[in-house]
Amino acid sequence: MGNEDKTSINWYPGHMTKARRMMEEEIKLIDVVIELLDARAPIATTNPDIGKIAANKPRVVILNKSDLADYKANVEWVKYYKTQGAQAMILDSRSREGLKNVKTLIEEATKEKRERDKKKGIIARPIRAMVAGIPNVGKSTFINAYSKKSSAATGNKPGVTKGKQWIKLGKDLELLDTPGILWPKIEDRTMAEYLAYIGTINDNVIPITEVATDLIIFLCTNYQGALEDRYNIETNDDAYEVLKEIGAKTGCMKKGGDVDAEKASRTLLDDFRNGKLGRITLQWP
């Protein structure tokens, strides 16, 4: 992403400042923080601010959207987090696969606290878990799947959840849904690219054709055949040329008969985000 100004505008909207403040207030009541990351790019989707807010709390790391990521990378990432001493697991919140493990991890992470309470004679109250993460990683989808209710609004764009919402699960657990928060300035260009690919940052504020051509270069380098198979095209070193090929094959044309590069970019990014290009991991441990 070349145009610094364009890409740094507006990805820290007012509601994120408010959300951050809310999380800082609520953290006192919280027993465990469930941090959702995107399994395709766990490091890029880690917000250091969440680590700071949750500094003294037990933490469970969930690598969500694992169905869109490379199998091998998923396994390696869980190993990586375990060697870091974190409770970690992969999850596909849409198929509910692996949801049972969440309970085990929460219990594991809150064990000390529960034992401490018991010794002090404090009557067991529900465990309070804050579900946190950057925008669009699937926090609300996860909460709905885990609670088997559709209490939280979801959507495939950043900024769907605007305020806090507590969701009760029986008498043992309460989950706090939070709005996704980013950090004010994303300095690392590669990280910013990954966030743009997966839809963390609103498409209206990113230079979409540049993001799409960057993705083409990434795919041609790391996942040869992915674009060829999906669009029935030949690829070459000229990413913009490839983008136009994709546009031509998918009917993204302007009135005069030229390819609409912006529309082609949206098509490519949508396909990537929906797993139509296969299981693709952007970052490996």
203 exposure class (CB count in 10 Å sphere: 0-12, 13-18, 19+): middle
Is residue 136 part of the contact set for ligand GTP (CB under 6 A)? Answer: yes
76 exposure class (CB count in 10 Å sphere: 0-12, 13-18, 19+): middle
- Closest to ligand GTP by CB, 47 or 64: 64
Is residue 93 part of the contact set for Mg ion (CB under 5 A)? Answer: no
Report the C-alpha gap between 174 and 168 in whole angstroms: 4
Minimum CB separation from ligand GTP for residue 43, in Å?
17
Window of 73-81, 117-125, 156-164, 210-218 that interacts with ligand GTP by CB under 6 A: 156-164
Question: Which of helix, strand or coil describes residue 130?
Answer: strand
Report the C-alpha gap between 245 and 240 in whole angstroms: 9
Minimum CB separation from ligand GTP for residue 38, in Å?
9
The distance in angstroms from the start CA to the end CA of the chain is 24
Q: Which does 247 bind (CB under 5 to 8 A by kind): Mg ion, ligand GTP, none?
A: none
Is residue 161 part of the contact set for Mg ion (CB under 5 A)? Answer: yes
Judged by CB under 6 A, how many residues of this single chain contact ligand GTP?
24
- Closest to Mg ion by CB, 11 or 218: 11
Q: Which does 74 bind (CB under 5 to 8 A by kind): Mg ion, ligand GTP, none?
A: none
What are the C-alpha distances in Å from 176 to residues 98, 129, 179? Answer: 20, 6, 10
Q: In what order do the strands lie in the sheet with 32-38?
A: 87-90, 59-64, 32-38, 127-132, 173-177, 165-169
Is residue 140 part of the contact set for ligand GTP (CB under 6 A)? Answer: yes
Minimum CB separation from ligand GTP for residue 123, in Å?
33
Minimum CB separation from Mg ion for residue 54, in Å?
18
Question: Which of helix, strand or coil describes residue 245?
Answer: helix
Q: How many other C-beta atoms can be found within 10 angstroms of the C-beta atom of residue 213?
A: 20
Residues 61-90 touching ligand GTP, rule: CB under 6 A, are: 64-65, 67-68
- Closest to Mg ion by CB, 160 or 248: 160
- Closest to Mg ion by CB, 158 or 247: 158
Minimum CB separation from Mg ion for residue 176, in Å?
12
Minimum CB separation from ligand GTP for residue 275, in Å?
6
Instruction: Report the residue from 7, 74, 110, 141 that binds ligand GTP according to the rule CB under 6 A.
Output: 141
Helix (H) or strand (E) holding 56: none
Contact partners, residue 100, CB within 8 Å, separation at least 6: none
Contact partners, residue 20, CB within 8 Å, separation at least 6: 49, 53, 181
Residues 94-153 touching Mg ion, rule: CB under 5 A, are: 139-140
Six token digits for residue 280: 């693709």
Q: Which does 42 bind (CB under 5 to 8 A by kind): ligand GTP, Mg ion, none?
A: none
- 59 — phi, psi (to 5°)? -135, 135
Positions touching Mg ion (CB under 5 A) are 139-140, 160-161
Positions touching ligand GTP (CB under 6 A) are 64-65, 67-68, 92-94, 133, 135-141, 154-156, 158-161, 179-180
